[in-house]
Amino acid sequence: MANYTLQALYEDDDHLMKAVKETRSGNHHIEEVYTPFPVHGLDKAAGLKPTRMAITSFMYGVLGLGVAIWMMNFMMIDDWPRNIGGKPSFSYIQNMPAFVPIMFELTVFFAAHLMVITFYMRSKIWPFKKAENPDPRTTDDHFLMEVSAEKNNVQSVAEFLHATGAKEVTLKQS
């Protein structure tokens, strides 16, 4: 079955928000929304699940803390416990204050960088990636909502989208 996608173009984020809400309550499926800037509350209006990025970040932070503790315990205490300026290197806890700056930085480092990489992977962004832009105007001052439709109701969905205040509605067949 061929898929039909209707692209409705809006000039204003207020119109877009209203249209998203109406489309959802009209039981049409929103494929994707393209905006030039973050529209506050759009994710809730479109019914997206909250992100779990913060949770991954926390786990990466714990990992970083673990790496820092393991690394310094191995290097400074287990492998070659030298007397450096009288600092007690008999056990990790005795010399811990000196390790805290590194423990802190590695926690932040792991939490930040691994979270960013996770974000890139989850949102499929990388250098030389071909831009998936349906209409270059959406990077400047227009808003675009893609709604899927069946062959037999394309016309009615298009009319519905016009009624929500769309400036243009175009049909994209894939």
What CA–CA distance (Å, rounded) separates 109 from 119? 15
Which residue, 112 or 154, is less far from another protein as judged by CB?
Answer: 112
CB of 122 to another protein, least distance (A): 19
- Residues 6+ away with beta carbon under 8 Å from 55: none
Helix (H, G, I), strand (E, B) or coil at 54: helix
The count of residues in the chain is 174
Which residue, 38 or 127, is less far from another protein as judged by CB?
Answer: 38
CB of 97 to another protein, least distance (A): 4
Residues of this chain that interact with another protein (CB under 8 A) are 54, 58, 86, 97-98, 100
CB of 58 to another protein, least distance (A): 7
Which residue, 94 or 139, is less far from another protein as judged by CB?
Answer: 94
CB of 94 to another protein, least distance (A): 11
**CA dihedral (62, 64, 67, 68) positive or negative:** negative
Write the DSSP assignment of 62-102 as a string of letters: HHHHHHHHHHHIIIIIII----STT---SSTGGGHHHHHHH
Which residue, 84 or 116, is less far from another protein as judged by CB?
Answer: 84
CB of 100 to another protein, least distance (A): 7
Which residue, 97 or 127, is less far from another protein as judged by CB?
Answer: 97
3-state secondary structure 124-138: CCCCCCCCCCCCHHH
